Amino acid sequence: MGTREYLEKLNLDQLRYARDAAEELIAALEKEQKLVVWCLEDRDARLKTFADSHYVQAAEKLLETARENAASPQHMKARDKELHLVAIFVPASEYAEWVDVPTNNKSTA
């Protein structure tokens, strides 16, 4: 069930409570420290995300993707080859959802 479908099932008081609760959660997230995530994007989609500390890997992936695009058939239009490396700023509590954050539970062999 999508968010809108869920909300449509609530009565007026429940909707007001949900709105107020959402405003509180949004305010808390807006106050949080923001961390950088690098996003490799083409014209239509986000292809991959990288932690700020993996900026060079993000740039290398852009180059790898560009080489793959260059090897594509000649009829591929220039706009279909567009690539972007974009920095976005996400709340610290959401960072792990955006990038693969290494854990400290590495096994030693």
Q: Are residues 27 and 47 in the same domain?
A: no
Q: Are residues 52 and 84 in the same domain?
A: yes
Q: Are residues 8 and 43 in the same domain?
A: no
Computed on alpha carbons and rounded to an integer, the radius of gyration of the chain in Å comes to: 20
Over residues 100-106, the mean pLDDT reads 54
In a domain, 106, yes or no: no
Confidence band, pLDDT 50/70/90 cuts, at residue 69: confident
Residue 77 has pLDDT above 80, yes or no: no
Q: Are residues 64 and 93 in the same domain?
A: yes
Q: Are residues 24 and 38 in the same domain?
A: no
Average pLDDT, the chain: 89
Q: Are residues 18 and 56 in the same domain?
A: no
Domain coverage including residue 18: 1-31
Number of domains in the chain: 2
- The residue among 58, 51, 56 whose CA lies nearest residue 36 is 51
**How much of the chain exceeds pLDDT 70, in percent?**
92
pLDDT one-digit tens code per residue, 81-93: 889 999 999 999 9
Tokens 């420290």 belong to residue: 33
Instruction: Give the predicted TM-score (pTM) of the model.
Output: 0.74
